[in-house]
Structure 1
């Protein structure tokens, strides 16, 4: 007699209002995902965000000193950011820029 393989997936049941289900289904459809895949991915992403905010960052004293040294240095402009921040907004035209 063979032993049944141990199940690795665990069910999760939720009761949601119809409007929530409709919104989830619409968003899942736009992503080409099933409702289950969409909700699982969103729940795992939200859980990771919470855990990343709650977990301390650990580093060696040498690593911390190097990190603090980098923070203490003066900032340097990033050419791509300077270009983005100095270009006119898409709704601005040359005619309205001089007003």
Structure 2
């Protein structure tokens, strides 16, 4: 009889040497987020890596497409109902 088993994902280790004060700070933040230290650090590192790569993303467009993009940026904004409502509502921090 065979049993269905889920394949285990291969994981590599990453060792860090950090001062105790920084480890304690990370532990406190992880605990407040309801995560393990590993999950907290992995999520933060992944987010930082994605942002670093996205900040360096290069988009190549034709001169015509770029000219059209600049033309649209220079156009004044067209008011619409959602924008009017937003501009007329009180700021959440001023409602008290």
TM-score band by shorter chain is: 0.5 to 0.7
Q: How does 1:38-77 map to 2 (within 5 A)?
A: 38-59=40-61, 63-77=65-79
Q: Give how far 1:69 is off.
A: 3.1
Runs of 4+ in 1 over 4 A off after TM superposition: 60-63
Alpha-carbon separation, structure 1, partners of 2:75 and 2:58: 24
Given the alignment, which residue of 65, 89, 94 partners 1:90? Answer: 94
Aligned-residue Cα RMSD (Å) equals 3.0
Query: Unpaired runs of 5+ in structure 1?
Result: 94-99
Please list the CA deviations of residues 37-88 of structure 1 after superposition, one character each: whole Å capped at 9, or x if unmatched.
000010111111111111212345564344233212112453254235x75x
Q: Tell me the TM-score normalized by structure 1.
A: 0.65
Q: Does 1:9 align with 2:14?
A: no
Say how many residue pairs are matched.
Answer: 86
For 2:84, the equivalent position in structure 1 comes to 79
